[in-house]
Structure 1
Amino acid sequence: MAAKPKLYYFYGRGRMEPVRWLLAAAGVEFEEEFIETREEYEKLQKDGSLLFGQLPLVEIDGMMLTQTRAIMSYIAAKYNLYGKDLNERVRIDMYIDGIMDLKMMIAWAAFDPPGEKEKNIDSIINKAKTRYFPVFEKVLRDHGEDFLVGNTFSWADVQLIEALFMLEELSAAVLSDFPLLQAFKTRICNIPTVKKFLQPGSQRKPPPDNRYIETVKRVLLM
């Protein structure tokens, strides 16, 4: 029996949470090793496990993979979540890149000082509603299918549903003007593997708190 993928990261979301969502959506069980100290991080560097000296790190299929986008591309291809041909793949890639830009804005806002954080969150919500949500509302309307690409569940759907949850944590009514995205969220949440990941006790991580932020700063000398 093949070993479970092993994820090396902080106990928190950051750049690893999209990987957790993707593995969970694919129905793949995984293990985690949480980095708590600078010494643990430096050991991974000395072992040569961190290609560019950066986390996240995923051990899978005998490989030590770094760089979030590369990790997710491999997982998506391995578990048939990357479209059926190049035409579908390039559209998935376009959607993924846009979604990741939006999610990284949210992730970095957690590290802002209090006054600036609220201002940035307001800006992120505004960008989501004026730049990103209209795109996906149109994609769903024009495409006329349950999923973003083809009529098959892909990692673009996984990344978008994660982004919707992140934004609803910032503003509960953020989707109020986007009925197709609301319906999309309901559909994806009813996929058994996604539904399971959303249940209490799963490996889904909570929003960034002070402990997570201080751990990241301490380990990375920020």
Structure 2
Amino acid sequence: MKEGPDIAQIGALIGDPARANMLTALMSGKALTPTELAGAAGITLQTTSSHLSKLEAGKLVRQRKQGRHRYFSLFDDDVGQLLESLMGFAASRGLLRQRLGPKDPSLRKARVCYNHLAGDYGVRMLDSLIAEEIVTETDDELTLTVVGRSRMTALGIDLEALTKRRRPLCRTCLDWSERRSHLAGSLGEALLNLFLDRGWAKREAESRRIQFTRTGEQTFLDLFAVPQATLA
């Protein structure tokens, strides 16, 4: 087939092990230097620069310059969603890069997926939002309800500012460990930032893990209670 989107080109860019490791490192949502990405990929800095040029040309990453330093991040939300979906597909086929270790339960519990909450707690949050009719779901499309707008505003989220962005307000993202959807979009990002800004949780250094404080975890569970029928 010679017409249509060129998935082979995207597949080739992501499929290289070194580039895959760099893209996975950027799923933390943080902008990283070429040196940091070289460490994540286990390759030399010179080779890293070549890989980054290819990823940048393919619009999978973008760079920002600050003084003499260069920082790279994922190009946009769509790239993060694509990578999370690929992780889910790989995990469903048993294609894991290493044996499960003692820290994996915490990664599955709560982690950053580019810029929003993923893992068991991310799925739980979306389940709760749907059960409480804060958002409605139709064919994987999410809509914030009138009740939802009131609840989000009460939490201190500036919905007017979010709706001015070009990004969707809320959308689903397939969770690689739970194999179900969690909340993405600008609302998903705003809620994660809320948890971090209020000290309910923090990002674990050099990791995608999100660690909730005891008080923060209880607050989260109270805010996003899920009916037992949903949990079953």
TM-score, normalised by the number of residues in structure 1 = 0.30
Between the two structures, name the one with larger relative contact order (CA 8 Å, sep ≥ 6): 1
Identify, as 1 or 2, the structure richer in strand.
2
**Higher share of residues assigned helix:** 1
Mark the structure with the bigger radius of gyration. Answer: 2
